[in-house]
Amino acid sequence: MTSTSLTLEGCGRTFPGGQVALHPLDLTVAAGETLVLLGPSGCGKTTTLRIISGLESPDAGGRVRFGERDVTALPIEKRDVGMVFQHYALFPNMNVADNITYGLRIKGLSRDTIRQRLDEVMAMVDLQGFGARRIHELSGGQKQRVALARAIAVRPKILLFDEPLAALDAKLRDRLRLEIGQLLRKLGITAVYVTHDQAEAMALGDRIAVMQAGRIAQLATPREIYHRPTSIFVADFIGAVNRLEVHATLADGLLRVSGGELRAPHLAGAAAVYCRPEDIQIAADGNADVRGKVRQSLFLGQSQRLLVDLGDNACLQVETASRRRWRTEDPIGLRLPPEALFHPERHAYPTKELEANHA
Amino acid sequence: MNRLRFYLQLGFTLWVCLFMIVPVIMSVMAGLTTNYFVGLESGLTLRWVQEVWALYADTIWLSIRLALACLCFTVLLGVPAAYGLLRSKRRWANAMEEALLLPVAIPGLATALALLLAYGHMRGFRESWLFILIGHVLFTLPFMIRPVLAVMRGARLAELEEAAASLGAGFRQRFLGVVVPNCVGGILAGALMVVTLSIGEFNITWMLHTPLNKTLPVGLADSYASMRLEIGSAYTLLFLAMTLPLLVVIQWAGRVANRSRTP
């Protein structure tokens, strides 16, 4: 499939009541790239998707381009997009095959082409033999595959996903996420994927745009977003993050915090440091940076999460292997390696050498 | 306690039957007995039914024609109207729905009188069956719009339409290919009401009919008023024979449609 790049220029959206759903936004998605719009509800991600699809128009001045072509004035049916909805939006009056071929019939393609295209996409989504099934006979996962097949059957320029897995249970969601990822890579199609699920965003996005209150808070690769978040909102929205107040910056790049001292030359002068629970290591007394007591342990199966009290109301969440048993009040020593410490708003991250050390 | 409740329920059911079913049976029997005042010993006969058929067959055909024409019009007007209401602002939609109900709330005689005052002078129109048809459509339209609208509101129609649009379907294709097929259940439920109400409608029709344009209920009133009781009763019998199969067919169609599209 030939893919098209997508450009939004100054696309904002103000609702009739004056409420701003989306502040003017510039965005480019390269041909063949998958961009995930991630954020809590009401952050403007769905509005952005609807502007790209043509279901909504941007405020005056906004422009939507598919490749070189300005499609701002075109309604959705003239834009050549494929769309997958949260609640599938399959036509209950048609069987699986008729749903998938609906767009092809609308385009007036020949019978043979339709037949051939149907077999092709049914194989792609692993639904061979389901053509004659009625929609209400399908499971949620199968429904979403039919919806996916229906969207790609018309060979759209851009594929749009509106929280397609939100209505499915966890196990199925994981599997379908994997399948969608493979399919997107195989098709090499430009895709925009809206979700509020960070795991989905990480797994599927070539880049992720984390959105907050109608703006893009950060637009970067999943790795960058996770390890170098540029705002506390992003750090907090993706995964869990600890914030530890710094009481004083000492000599030699040492920071005094509750329960001990941390080595973090790149954070000299910061009022706080941030780190992810899984980057904290449990250390023997001699090696520990900070010491505290276990206040709570949460067994998660593949790991356990400890809440460690460092005194002065300072707490750290620590993710560690699940075999060792921790009890409340157990004393514990923790090592917070310098490469795990960062401060989003100061844009202070470990240097490349520090990260290399860690590896 | 349970026993008492059972007997109370049974009593209530029998009491309802007394008023719903017994009169119908009496009426049917009256239409089949040779002499109602003598009673069943006078013997059973089809004479009265034949007589009614000879006298009033045309009223039966007119009623069926009216009901079917009325059904066509209410579908053609009601489905787009329901769609319009679905898409318009809630406040306006509610006001419109209430306005549409007015012909049901206002006595049929008043509606008919208003029609006569406004268009009675157009003689060709006034004397044709189409004049009665207009009265029927006015009266039955809300019974089509309401169930269709209810089904539309429950069917995630907006999302289905967006999906169809994303696949390249224009408005006409979406409306005929997605909207209408997905409210068939509502249309059939409405059809049942419309046909039933149109066939039985008396108030408006009585005011609007001409000697050449009598419907079944008007003919029935006529026969009860001017002929033997047996003839009127035989008429009721024919009425039942004509309408029951029609209603059963529509009910059955509704069930089939619902079964094939329950999510």
| Distance separating alpha carbons of residues B187 and B198, to the nearest angstrom | 16
DSSP string computed for B141-201: HHHHHHHHHHHHHHTTHHHHHHHHHHTT--HHHHIIIIITGGGHHHHHHHHHHHHHHHHH-
Give A98's pLDDT tier (boundaries 50, 70, 90): very high
Classified as helix, coil or strand, B203 is: helix
- Give A52's contacts in chain B (Cβ within 8 Å): none
| Distance separating alpha carbons of residues B190 and B149, to the nearest angstrom | 10
| Distance separating alpha carbons of residues A137 and A129, to the nearest angstrom | 13
Asked if residue A81 has pLDDT above 70, the reply is yes
Cα angle A75, A106, A31 (rounded to 5 degrees) comes to 55
Distances A338 to A174, A176, A267, A291 between C-alpha atoms, Å: 33, 38, 9, 17
Tens-place pLDDT, residues B80-93: 999 999 888 888 88
Residue in A55, A85, A106 nearest the CB of B173: A106
Q: How many Cβ pairs closer than 8 A exist between chain A and B?
A: 73
For chain A, give every domain's residue range. Answer: 6-236, 240-358
Question: Is B168 in Cβ contact with A154 (below 8 Å)?
Answer: yes
The answer to whether residues A23 and A6 touch, using CB atoms and an 8 Å cutoff, is no
What pLDDT does B212 receive?
A: 77
Q: Report the half-sphere exposure of B34 (CA within 13 A, side-chain side).
A: 7
- Give B182's contacts in chain A (Cβ within 8 Å): 91-93
The answer to whether residues A12 and A64 touch, using CB atoms and an 8 Å cutoff, is no
Question: Is A82 in Cβ contact with B163 (below 8 Å)?
Answer: no
What pLDDT does A213 receive?
A: 92
B124 in contact with chain A, both atoms CB, cutoff 8 A: no
Amino acid at A86: Q
| Distance separating alpha carbons of residues A107 and A117, to the nearest angstrom | 13
Structure tokens at A24: 């003017």
Query: Going by DSSP bridges, is the β-strand pair A254-257/A81-84 parallel, antiparallel, or unpaired?
Result: unpaired
Question: Is B263 in Cβ contact with A136 (below 8 Å)?
Answer: yes
Residue in A76, A83, A92 nearest the CB of B263: A92
What pLDDT does A147 receive?
A: 94
Residue in B168, B261, B262 nearest the CB of A106: B168
Give B263's pLDDT tier (boundaries 50, 70, 90): very low
Question: Is A77 in Cβ contact with B168 (below 8 Å)?
Answer: yes
| Distance separating alpha carbons of residues A107 and A180, to the nearest angstrom | 25
Question: Is A134 in Cβ contact with B162 (below 8 Å)?
Answer: no
Q: How far does B172 lie from chain A, in Å, by closest CA? A: 11
Question: Is B166 in Cβ contact with A76 (below 8 Å)?
Answer: yes
Shortest CA distance to B237 belongs to which of B39, B38, B45? B45
Question: Is A136 in Cβ contact with B261 (below 8 Å)?
Answer: yes
Q: Which CATH superfamily is A6-236 part of?
A: P-loop containing nucleotide triphosphate hydrolases (3.40.50.300)
Structure tokens at B228: 């033997």
Question: Is B163 in Cβ contact with A106 (below 8 Å)?
Answer: no
Shortest CA distance to A246 belongs to which of A234, A233, A263, A231? A263
Asked if residue B43 has pLDDT above 50, the reply is yes
Which has the higher per-residue pLDDT, B237 or A113? A113
Asked if residue B3 has pLDDT above 70, the reply is yes
| Distance separating alpha carbons of residues B247 and B243, to the nearest angstrom | 6
Residue in A93, A134, A154 nearest the CB of B167: A154
- Give A46's contacts in chain B (Cβ within 8 Å): none
Asked if residue B28 has pLDDT above 90, the reply is no
- Give A154's contacts in chain B (Cβ within 8 Å): 167-168
User: Any idea which residue has 């006969």 for tokens?
Assistant: B45
Asked if residue A358 has pLDDT above 70, the reply is no
Mutation pick from B161, B162, B167, B176 vs chain A, by most beta carbons of A within 10 Å, is B167
B188 in contact with chain A, both atoms CB, cutoff 8 A: no
| Distance separating alpha carbons of residues A237 and A201, to the nearest angstrom | 12
In sequence order, the 6+-apart residues with CB closer than 8 A to the CB of B205 are: B112, B132, B135, B136, B215, B217, B218
The answer to whether residues A200 and A184 touch, using CB atoms and an 8 Å cutoff, is no
Residue in B166, B178, B260 nearest the CB of A91: B178
| Distance separating alpha carbons of residues B259 and B257, to the nearest angstrom | 6
Residue of B nearest to A140 (CA): B263
The mean per-residue pLDDT over the stretch B208-220 comes to 82
The mean per-residue pLDDT over the stretch B169-174 comes to 92
Residue in A81, A90, A91 nearest the CB of B166: A81
Residue in B162, B165, B182 nearest the CB of A93: B182
In sequence order, the 6+-apart residues with CB closer than 8 A to the CB of B194 are: B67, B70, B71, B74, B140, B143, B144
| Distance separating alpha carbons of residues A137 and B261, to the nearest angstrom | 10
Shortest CA distance to A149 belongs to which of A86, A69, A84, A79? A84
Q: Minimum mean pLDDT among A303-307, B124-128, B173-177: which range?
A: B124-128
Q: How far is CA A150 from the centre of its chain?
A: 24
The answer to whether residues A336 and A257 touch, using CB atoms and an 8 Å cutoff, is no
The answer to whether residues B27 and B38 touch, using CB atoms and an 8 Å cutoff, is no
Question: Is B166 in Cβ contact with A92 (below 8 Å)?
Answer: no
- What percentage of chain A carries pLDDT values higher than 90? 64
What pLDDT does B261 receive?
A: 53
Asked if residue B52 has pLDDT above 70, the reply is yes
Which has the higher per-residue pLDDT, A359 or B62? B62
Tens-place pLDDT, residues A288-334: 899 999 999 999 988 999 999 998 889 999 999 988 889 999 999 99
Could you name the CATH architecture of B49-261? Orthogonal Bundle (1.10)
Tens-place pLDDT, residues B223-234: 778 777 888 888
Residue of A nearest to B258 (CA): A93
CB atoms within 10 A of CB B199: 23
Q: How far does A309 lie from chain B, in Å, by closest CA? A: 50
- Give A55's contacts in chain B (Cβ within 8 Å): 162, 165
User: Helices A140-153 and A170-187 sit at what angle, rounded to 10 degrees?
Assistant: 20
What pLDDT does A345 receive?
A: 83
User: Does the structure's ipTM exceed the value 0.90?
Assistant: no
Which contacts qualify for A141-145: CB closer than 8 Å, 24 or more apart?
Answer: A141/A168, A141/A172, A141/A175, A141/A176, A143/A88, A143/A90, A144/A84, A144/A88, A144/A168, A144/A176, A145/A176, A145/A179
Residue of B nearest to A82 (CA): B166
Question: Is B156 in Cβ contact with A103 (below 8 Å)?
Answer: no
Q: Which CATH superfamily is A240-358 part of?
A: Nucleic acid-binding proteins (2.40.50.140)
| Distance separating alpha carbons of residues A262 and A249, to the nearest angstrom | 10
Average pLDDT of chain A, as a whole number = 90
B65 in contact with chain A, both atoms CB, cutoff 8 A: no
Residue of B nearest to A84 (CA): B163
Residue of B nearest to A54 (CA): B166
Distances A181 to A156, A170, B112 between C-alpha atoms, Å: 17, 16, 66
Shortest CA distance to B185 belongs to which of A93, A88, A143, A133? A93
Which has the higher per-residue pLDDT, B216 or A197? A197
| Distance separating alpha carbons of residues B251 and A319, to the nearest angstrom | 63
Backbone angles phi, psi at A298, to 5 degrees: -120, 115
| Distance separating alpha carbons of residues A115 and A131, to the nearest angstrom | 11
Give counts: helices (H), strands (E), chain B. 13, 0
B257 in contact with chain A, both atoms CB, cutoff 8 A: no
Mutation pick from A91, A93, A104, A135 vs chain B, by most beta carbons of B within 10 Å, is A93
What pLDDT does A264 receive?
A: 87
Which string of b and e fits B224-242 if b means at least 16 CB within 10 Å? Answer: eeebebbbbbbbbbbbeeb
Q: How far does B183 lie from chain A, in Å, by closest CA? A: 10
Question: Is A90 in Cβ contact with B168 (below 8 Å)?
Answer: no
Mutation pick from B89, B166, B261 vs chain A, by most beta carbons of A within 10 Å, is B166
- What percentage of chain A carries pLDDT values higher than 70? 97
Q: Which residues pair with A27 in a beta bridge?
A: A8
Shortest CA distance to A207 belongs to which of A29, A41, A349? A29
